[in-house]
Structure 1
């Protein structure tokens, strides 16, 4: 017996010693990549794993369940659904004691999964090598519709339409159906302003799949960039979680050629038990950690900062101004810029703005009115050759912003902010299919008596919307009419009449008005912004009441324009 006990003690000692040595010397992560066939791999960790094929990640195991099921799964594509990336190889290109970096290679570039041992999800990023000129570039999940019945964006949270609802509805346009009760089903109700997003995704009672972008610097466009975010796939019922890292859903034009090495990301794809509270906590954690120390790309880590102050030419601070750091010496609008990296902020009440963690480089600085105290400012400030250097803060001298004398303004309807702010039917939600058709065909407001809420957010139907404005005396100089559109979808045309005399038009097929995908996709807050200007001869004006009319002469259902502001100035 004593001999047996000595043997058992020796075995226990050896086992303990082996375990101690293993703990002390283990440097290999638990996360893994395994190749099953020529173009089939499994990657993940002990918490989740994905089976990845040449195009699609088809099985996502989490908590003992496949979350893809009969859905399409995970893939990367550009310029719509016609161009899915095909992976030719996969490899672990970097690892640490608790993580691996898996690179999937395609002709167009490399897609990376950075997988930590204890993380339910992965950091992802894409490095361009040979993408063509792109409008859309996206990654996405199409997941099991039973596991993910709900969707969440910053402005919409609820149950995604059931697949059965589409069967009894009539398709009336792209991904839009009218139900028997007259209401609409459309995926575009699940759109969002991308730079306002914190965490978004699809979820249920047991599981949630979320995208978290603590930075938006690799997204195209400015403050008002919008994209489709989540939706129900109408043909299959898949729950769709979109990651539109370069997109065109509410724009007229956005065609960009990015340089070899342009990197989108990293962002976090995150799995949990469906808890929005947990996803919000994770968002705050990622935001604090950005820019990520673990991402060793030298261009990514080379960052500086910028600070400046904007002052109007009359000495007032440009309080609340929208500030955009983008392409240098560009002839594109800030919404249409998209080949590089972009930063947005707003000036404080003193006109001061600051942007931290900006990639080193040379930028153009742009600023415009965001309403409020700047509601009458219609010019755009542009300063080029702004240099951002690594580990330095670029301190700009006070920038003076040329602005029109407020006494020159004859009248103004609506704040100038590139949005439909304050107009009738512009709220409460920024998306609703067919809302523009609820606007009356005819409407009249009177300057000095009516308010912005008496003017509608858009115009589409055959009819006339008019502004009556008084003049206290006969004019002694000419004027200029400015028409600021928050969006324009071709299909409607209008004559602009001043005291029954035509002075201009808003028309389809005009070179000045490229059509954007806003009103017919249910946008009610913004789309692609346009500023139209028309000369006004003083002989057309009179003492007393004058009438400015927008008379629609041709119309297409759900097409038309969104109003930003209408104003006239003496010149």
Structure 2
């Protein structure tokens, strides 16, 4: 296998230096291990030659549809849709996508200028840029974009990153950035095995299997039932790219393997600092194509909250990447599937080498230009323990200043996260200069932590914040609780899939059961007449609490809202006291939660969220979207000695996907 053990050893593994060849319409970079060809001046990766294969990218595709950066954007100044960009046809997002802003257009980023940034035997870095000026209004996203590609000596792969800039001049129009990413389309005759995680890797269907004559589109066009696939083993399976999405925290390496020749193609993201939405944000990665993506900005599993919006003349600059495109191979006769293990090892090497020292752009700060924050995080809940408790595995990070929990909707700048050890100790390293708040959340406890002090990072700083104490929301003792406060609905009842709509990979994977297609339809089968009733002390949330409160399908194929009941007993009700109902939601999509106590038919609910959420996690096979926490005061006069019922109504029912996923529910007694 070709690899490298560390950045410092680059150049020692191959006697051949990096060679740069500039042609009329192409640029070729070669280090003797692989050769990368890019269109000039557009900066599209048209070819990757490796291990005897002339091109690992799909040679049947047009050169512009092989390896590229693209962008989805919308004007915010009333000009509406814009025209085709550089001759690339506009691709409007499906109107069925609640995550996508209306009038958003997908654009291939074609540069207009080429420049050699660094050329030496040890390293070549080239730039493909596209400046913007007001004369281009209505034709291009109002951004200066500089795409960079780097090839090192002795390195079995190449790096790419980009600098996006919106200038602080009134001539620069307002716009929203719905999505930006790097995409690679691999040869469908070679790459058939995909790996995105240890428990999500398999031989995959062909893109041809999704065509109308071989596949039947389901409720969402991305989900296709394979009725006549090229390989009979896939007949009757559902293929949907969203079944393979990953959270940022787990999305560091993914890709494809070819058996003939034995080659691996991997996309490695060594840092999350440039991705939006924090560690739990879910993104697409690899899927049938064979396609391999690095998504930097995207609204999936969140909706419009994760679409950054820039005002007219609002200054902004951000570096996306570098990400590493890694190639590996094995000798004839060796198991090609071991390439996945090697890719994971290489991911570890890349992560330990972050931030890279070799990118030439001054906008990418080097290791000595960054700072560090360390300390300890404790939890204080006197109803659980008289002493402050050390956190273990809590997520703690720096993100731009904002409200408590604002990090999960932050989508313009940089975030830096780590986890506490068993003693609650943490160290956040390689932080870019700037002003931040420190945020955290602790699995097993409600809510979000934010330190009120602003933290200013300067080059070389080493800041000790000492022992921090998070006091999660709590007014009184727990009378009852449902679920685990972990920002996910995974602990609740996820039904078996319809045998006619399965992905065989997940059939023996209870941890991935929620990724099966069509589970929302199971609610109406389980509760054809009345709705879910959960009895405290008798019911088991892993068996009796459906993973999502979805509408019920009626006989006429329309849908109706649902009302779930929580039954419980109380003794010694304090009429003059206030009880507290904590409701943590793991996701919501164009939904509403109404709460009533002991009177289902009361015209006005005690509490309503109003219409919330656009995460669309249910049809996208997610087990959470964005996190919501509500704290409801319940007067003792509403409660009864003995039997009580709390009603949770989700009345919205124009579509089967208007629904809520719960994370955790708790009723607290008076303090």
Normalised by the length of structure 1, the TM-score is 0.85
Alignment correspondent of 2:402: 329
CA distance 1:33–1:262, change in 2 (3 Å)? farther
Q: Is the 8 A contact 2:128 2:147 kept in 1?
A: yes
CA distance in 1, matches of 2:204, 2:374: 43
Aligned to 1:413: 482
Is the Cα contact below 8 Å between 1:475 and 1:543 reproduced in 2?
A: no
- Change in 2 beyond 3 A, CA 1:151/1:91: same
Match of 1:228? Answer: 284
Match of 2:300 among 249, 253, 277: 249
In 1, are the aligned partners of 2:607 and 2:632 still within 8 Å (CA)? no
Q: Give the distance between the partners of 1:362 and 1:552, measured in 2 at CA.
A: 40
Residue aligning to 1:457: 547
CA distance, structure 1, for counterparts of residue 153 and residue 448 of structure 2: 52
Deviations 1:375-410 (A, max 9, x none): xx3353343411223223210132232334574333
The partner residue of 2:242 within 161, 169, 188 is 188
Residue 482 of structure 1 contacts residue 531 of structure 1 at CA under 8 Å; is this kept in 2?
A: yes
Question: Counterpart in 2 of 1:60?
Answer: 48
Q: Distance in 1 between matches of 2:652 and 2:163?
A: 47
- Provide the C-alpha distance between the structure 1 equivalents of 2:471 and 2:551, rounded to a whole number of angstroms: 38
Cα separation, 1, equivalents of 2:650 and 2:285: 33
* Residue equivalent to 1:239: 290
How many residues are treated as equivalent by the alignment?
Answer: 529
Query: Residue 178 of structure 2 aligns to a residue in which SS?
Result: coil
Secondary structure, in 3 states, of the residue corresponding to 1:286? helix
Residue 363 of structure 1: how far off its partner (Å)? 0.7
Equivalent pair of 1:304/1:360 in contact (CA under 8 Å) = yes
User: Partners of 1:95 and 1:119 in 2: how far apart?
Assistant: 16
**Aligned-residue offset at 1:552:** 4.2
Per-residue CA deviation, residues 100-121 of structure 1 (Å, 9 max, x unaligned), is: 1111112331111111233232
Question: 1:325 Cα shift?
Answer: 1.1
The partner residue of 1:364 within 414, 428, 437 is 437
- Give 1:61-140 correspondences, 5 Å limit: 61-62=49-50, 63-67=52-56, 68-71=58-61, 72-79=65-72, 82-107=106-131, 108-130=144-166, 133-140=176-183
Q: What SS class does the counterpart of residue 514 from structure 1 fall into?
A: strand
Q: 1:109-148 CA deviation, whole Å, 9 max, x = no partner?
A: 1111111233232111111234953121101101211111
What is the 5 A alignment of 1:512-551?
Answer: 513-524=612-623, 526-551=624-649
2:29, 2:124 within 8 Å by CA — same for their partners in 1?
Answer: no
Which residue in the other structure is 1:42 paired with? 28
Give the 3-state SS of the residue equivalent to 1:133 in structure 2: strand
Alignment of 1:343-354 (within 5 A): 343-354=416-427
- C-alpha distance in structure 1 between counterparts of 2:351 and 2:640, whole Å: 58
Once the 2 structures are TM-superposed, how far is the Cα of residue 337 of structure 1 from its aligned partner? 0.8
Tell me, which stretches of 5 or more residues in structure 1 are unaligned? 1-26, 233-237
Task: Give the aligned partner of residue 78 of structure 2.
Answer: none
Structure 2 residue corresponding to 1:396, chosen from 465, 474, 480:
465
1:33 offset after TM fit, Å? 3.8
The aligned residue for residue 200 of structure 2 is: 156
For the pair 1:289 / 2:345, whether they are aligned, the reply is no
Asked if 1 retains the 8 angstrom alpha-carbon contact of 2:650 and 2:659, the reply is: no
Superposition pairs of residues 492-531 of structure 1, within 5 angstroms = 493=592, 495-501=594-600, 502=602, 503-504=605-606, 510=610, 513-524=612-623, 526-531=624-629
Displacement over 6 Å in runs of 4+: none
1:276 alignment partner, SS class: helix
Corresponding residue number in structure 1 for 2:322: 266
Rate the CA distance shift 1:450–1:547 in 2: closer, same or farther, 3 A: same
